[in-house]
Amino acid sequence: MPRTSDQTSFLCAGDSIQIGVETASVVTSTVDITSPLPEYDVIVLGAGFAGLVAARDLSCAGVKVLLLEARDRIGGRTYTSRLHGQNVEMGGTWIHWSQPHVFHEIHRYGLQDQLKRSVGTLSPFHGGPEFVYSFSGGQLRKLTNEDYEVRMKTMMEAFFNVDGALGRSILEWPHNPSFDSVDAKKLQSLSAKDRFEQICEQFSAQDQDLLSAMLAAIGTTSLDKIALYDLFKWWALSGYTVEDFFAATASFKLSCGTTELARCILADFKGDMLFNSPVAGIEQGSKVVVTLKTGQKIRSARVVCTVPLNVLHNITFTPPLSPKKLSASKEGHVTKGLKVHMYTKQPLQTVFTSSAPPQPLTFGFTESHLPSDGGTFSVFFFQNDSIDLTSPESIARDFTLQIMSGTVIPDAVAPDAILCHDWTSDEFARGAWCTFRPGFGEEYFLEVRRREGRVWFASADWAEGWRGFIDGAIEQGTHAAREILEEMREASGKVRSVL
Ligand SMILES: Cc1cc2nc3c(=O)[nH]c(=O)nc-3n(C[C@H](O)[C@H](O)[C@H](O)COP(=O)(O)OP(=O)(O)OC[C@H]3O[C@@H](n4cnc5c(N)ncnc54)[C@H](O)[C@@H]3O)c2cc1C
């Protein structure tokens, strides 16, 4: 299997660290930038899920498209690696049938039989972890799965029940922010901490830690930095119940890997592809001129820019991006935590574990047990700034210390392998999934989404529905392609639609 040249992904096994991980997401360019390229109808910038879908939909409708990507691979913040015969998701992972755009794509490519559950996720009525651990009051507390679920149900319902209807009346239309009520808009400026403080006194200190760990996991940061609106959005989109919240956000994944879904979309794309080509500038006149970091220029009539919020400001736009869009990108979203996969030859208990800020771990769980040699895969998410991101060595060292400290899982076991992509140090992401700080949505949401001239902006980071999810990326790519096709049809009436 090929290995990505992404410099912030690595496999650490024993004393050896290999930069770049094995993945089937590495793809070869179909055009060579050293020879002159034609002028395109549309350049789609970024081959994550937003870009892949936009490029496929446009090209299938007869539009001449170039898919242009900084990395050597597709999938962006979502791609699959492999270790010991197992698929390992380096970024985006869990999907659910309540996520309409991604599930539509899963069905389109016949992958609906490929769903599987991560074994240690919280799954009321379906097994789940043997035990739940929580570091609280200076010790690792052990609960049964049932006990944990009862406590979380009580606390989460108290948290979201601001309207006597478990949030149903305050955020009635979670896929359509333009329908937000006055009360829903108020959630934008409040923080998760504001609401937590209103309800926390009814619960013991240890249970408060359980709840704040769960809420902090949504942004891998402290509750004061997470918009209350974002929490309500996840809750409402999931179906306003604790059971559906766990199921929709972190339970089911594709056994074939997310890269298989990305490859299916790419297989239907009918245009040109250019990888390893970071864009430095986008200049608009009667055409758009896209300048690569190498200085080469490519022309098109329109651009779909799917570059993530946290790095959009690194591209020089002429005329400049609107001042508000630029400020939004410079500030960025807040999720800058770390996801780390651990493989141990020693079989471990099936567990879920969590801890509240300022503990480094936010949450983690058993992913799978290997039937062949009895080893265990586990995944852990750490708070922003809690692990030293200076180098793969520092990440592996800090991670191992955490695992062996007795604050994360009961077994003080040393990892036999660590797989990680440090998205915060990644120059083409500078963060993981999108979570807004209080007030950010009110200030910037409409502006970051707004088309500027011949450039459309499409990213999971400003999706209307599942913002910050694979589903949101597909929503955005679909919309951008549709709008461009409509505009082109109006202009010429010549574009063939097969959508
Ligand atoms: C650790 C982690 C865990 C996650 N967990 C989940 C989950 O369980 N479920 C879920 O649904 N979502 C999850 N997400 C979120 C999900 O992965 C993202 O929301 C989604 O993949 C974003 O897709 P996108 O196409 O909008 O952006 P991206 O995937 O970021 O794609 C943008 C593309 O633009 C490229 N690019 C950037 N700058 C340039 C440039 N200058 N020139 C050329 N190209 C450029 C990038 O290389 C990238 O390929 C997770 C994300 C992370 C990182």
Task: Please give the Cα distance from 377 to 301 (Å, whole number).
Answer: 47
Atom of ligand 1 nearest to the CA of 423: 53
Ordered per-residue pLDDT tens for the chain, 499 residues:
999 999 999 999 988 999 999 999 999 999 999 888 999 999 999 999 999 999 999 999 999 999 999 999 999 999 999 999 999 999 999 999 999 999 999 999 999 999 999 999 876 666 789 899 999 989 999 999 889 989 999 999 999 999 999 999 999 999 999 888 889 999 999 999 999 999 999 999 999 999 999 999 999 999 999 999 999 999 999 999 999 999 999 999 999 999 999 999 999 999 999 999 999 999 999 999 999 999 999 999 999 999 999 999 999 999 999 999 999 999 999 999 999 999 999 999 999 999 998 999 999 999 999 986 689 999 999 999 999 999 999 999 999 999 999 999 988 799 999 999 999 999 999 999 999 999 999 999 999 999 999 999 999 999 999 999 999 999 999 999 999 999 999 988 665 554 4
Which residue owns the Cα nearest ligand 1 atom 12? 469
Alpha-carbon span 413 to 411, nearest angstrom:
5
Cβ of 465 closer than 6 Å to ligand 1, yes or no, is no
Pocket test for ligand 1, best of 218, 220, 470 (most atoms within 8 A of CB): 470
Nearest atom of ligand 1 to the alpha carbon of 94:
8
What pTM was computed for the model?
A: 0.97
Asked if residue 437 has its Cβ within 6 Å of ligand 1, the reply is no
Query: Among 78, 102, 274, 469, which residue has the most ligand 1 atoms within 8 Å of its CB, making it the best to mutate?
Result: 78
Which residue has the least CA distance to atom 29 on ligand 1?
A: 76
Q: Ligand 1, residue 468: give the atom nearest the CA.
A: 19
Task: Give yes or no for residue 380 CB within 6 A of ligand 1.
Answer: no
Two tokens at 345? Answer: 């030859």
Residues with Cβ < 8 Å from 115, sequence gap 6 or more?
252, 253, 254, 255
**What spacing in Å lies between the alpha carbon of 77 and ligand 1's midpoint?**
3
The protein residue whose alpha carbon is closest to atom 31 in ligand 1 is 48
Q: What share of the chain is helix, strand, coil (3-state, %, to 5)?
A: 35, 25, 45
- Return the HEC string of 170-233: CCCCCCCHHHCCHHHHHHHHCEHHHHHHHHHHHCCHHHHHHHHHHHHHCCCCCHHHCEHHHHHH
Nearest of 270, 340, 263 to residue 2 by alpha carbon = 263
Residues contacting residue 428 through CB under 8 Å, at least 6 positions apart? 70, 71, 76, 278, 307, 308, 311
> Cβ(379)–Cβ(360) under 8 Å?
no
Q: Which of 235, 164, 223, 161 is nearest to 197 (CA)?
A: 223
For ligand 1, the distance from its centroid to the CA atom of residue 76, given in whole angstroms, is: 4
Q: Helix, strand, or coil here: 424? A: coil
- Whether the bond between 357 and the residue before it is cis, its omega within 30 degrees of 0, is no
User: In a 10 Å sphere around its CB, with 0-12 CB exposed, 13-18 middle and 19+ buried, how is residue 74 labelled?
Assistant: buried
